[in-house]
Structure 1
Amino acid sequence: MSGAVIIGAGPGIGQAVARRFAAEGLPITLIARSGRTLRAAAEAVAPSGVPVVALEADSTDQAGLNAALDRAAGGHGVPDVVVYNAAVIQQDAPGELSVRGHMEAWAVNVVGALNAAAHVAPAMAARGNGTILITGGMPEPKPQYVSLSLGKAGVRTLVTLLDQEYGPSGVHVASVTVAGPVAPGTDFDPDAIAEHYWRLHTQPSSRWEHEVLHAGSPR
């Protein structure tokens, strides 16, 4: 197994997805911009016993992110799956955020995912298989979350574009749309959400889904 790469490996979904894939025996590469975040994520995955690599990179730094992805491939091979979980989650109403603020949010929410996918998907396509999963949200846009609503709409379009480009070569591209605040022990428990990522990764190509909505777990 070539392994799983988690970009945005913070507490919540990032760590939960890393643990879920590690439980299946996949080597894990964790990418985050904070050393503290990486240490916590590595400790969370360690009990699985799989090889774990932790790399610092900012999702908006194309050269830095590409270098981290290259190191991941150098250590574990072309990834089986890349999960993009970085996001700027903030409240901002129409007209509140500056142009710079919108550009910074868009860079994390959409462009970072595009850059990561464009860097790894060609090698996946050449191999004939691979999975790229992006954490989505905001199934309905909300005026109190303008930048996030725009960003998650962008994620849906990005998934479609990447599927058109790389899907015919065997690369499964999909998003997991999370419709509420993530917190352990709630309907939006990160461990329950992580199951969607594993299921998408293991789907046969004849049954590929490109967006899964997590609207809450049954109690």
Structure 2
Amino acid sequence: MPGAVIIGAGPGIGQAVARRFAREGMPITLVARGAQTLRVVADGLAPYDVPIITLQADSADRAALDAALDQAVGEHGVPEVAVHNAALVRADELGELSVRDHMEAWAVNVVGALNAAAHLAPAMAARGSGTFLVTGGMPEPKPEYVSLSLGKAGVRTLITLLDQHYGSFGVHAASVTVDGPVAPGTDFDPDDIAEHYWHLHTQPRHLWDREALHAGRS
């Protein structure tokens, strides 16, 4: 049974999204850089009794990410939903970062999602269905977070491009914009945020949204 692939499956949103899809009985593939992170997230899915694959890869390393996604497809089939949740979050102001630092942030925040989509979306399109979701943030750019602001604007553009290219073939591309610091028990509880991912995945095609905004509990 095809399931969900979570890229950037760390604590917080990644783990909560994995739990949300596991609750529906979907096989889960977890992709993250660290083995310890993967163990902790996978252990948290044990109560759901679903097949789980854990794969180490840096989303900014295309060869490693491609290999991980190939393994995921080989074991679980083309996923019903893929979530790119990796991000490089750091405070920086205009002119503060070097070109290399900006390129590093862009590689994680945007290019990793682009490469994952380029690897999975064609097979989803060939099947005629699939969901590709990216964790976004910052509805408005902030001068104290320049590289992240640029990255989140890039995510919105990427979603538009994916929709233009694959939407007519049944692939729903969308982002979840989180407008605040994620922490359990707050207005930005990761389990509350994870509901947006499930909602986007299950939206009827004629109601597809390209962005869901989590601005806190209503």
C-alpha RMSD of matched pairs (Å): 0.5
**Aligned residue number for residue 18 of structure 1:** 18
**Aligned residue number for residue 156 of structure 1:** 156
1:8 counterpart letter in structure 2: G
**Aligned residue number for residue 124 of structure 2:** 124
After superposition, the C-alpha distances for 1:153-194 in whole angstroms (9 at most, x for unaligned) are 000000000000000000000000000000000000000000
Deviation at 1:217, TM superposition (A): 1.2
Deviation at 1:121, TM superposition (A): 0.4
3-state secondary structure, aligned to 1:31: strand
Deviation at 1:14, TM superposition (A): 0.1
TM-score, normalised to structure 1, is 0.99
Q: Distance in 1 between matches of 2:36 and 2:59?
A: 16
**Aligned residue number for residue 67 of structure 2:** 67
1:82 counterpart letter in structure 2: A
**Aligned residue number for residue 36 of structure 1:** 36
Q: Distance in 2 between matches of 1:45 and 1:86?
A: 19
1:177 counterpart letter in structure 2: T
After superposition, the C-alpha distances for 1:127-158 in whole angstroms (9 at most, x for unaligned) are 00000000000100000000000000000000
Q: Distance in 2 between matches of 1:163 and 1:119?
A: 15
Structure 2 unaligned residues grouped into runs of 5+: none
**Aligned residue number for residue 175 of structure 1:** 175
Q: What is the 5 A alignment of 1:50-129?
A: 50-129=50-129
Q: Distance in 1 between matches of 2:46 and 2:153?
A: 35
1:215 counterpart letter in structure 2: A
Question: Do structure 1's residue 47 and structure 2's residue 43 form an aligned pair?
Answer: no
3-state secondary structure, aligned to 2:58: coil
2:171 counterpart letter in structure 1: V
2:28 counterpart letter in structure 1: I
2:127 counterpart letter in structure 1: R
3-state secondary structure, aligned to 1:60: coil
3-state secondary structure, aligned to 2:172: strand
Aligned length: 218
Q: Distance in 1 between matches of 2:51 and 2:134?
A: 23
Q: Distance in 2 between matches of 1:137 and 1:84?
A: 13
Q: Distance in 2 between matches of 1:85 and 1:173?
A: 14
**Aligned residue number for residue 188 of structure 2:** 188
Deviation at 1:45, TM superposition (A): 1.0
Deviation at 1:47, TM superposition (A): 1.1
Q: Distance in 2 between matches of 1:86 and 1:202?
A: 22
Structure 1 unaligned residues grouped into runs of 5+: none
Deviation at 1:196, TM superposition (A): 0.2
Q: Distance in 2 between matches of 1:81 and 1:50?
A: 16
TM-score, normalised to structure 2, is 0.99
3-state secondary structure, aligned to 1:141: coil
Q: Distance in 2 between matches of 1:36 and 1:106?
A: 25
Q: Distance in 2 between matches of 1:28 and 1:38?
A: 12
Query: Which aligned runs of 4 or more in structure 1 are off by greater than 4 angstroms?
Result: none
Identity over aligned pairs, percent? 74
3-state secondary structure, aligned to 1:82: strand
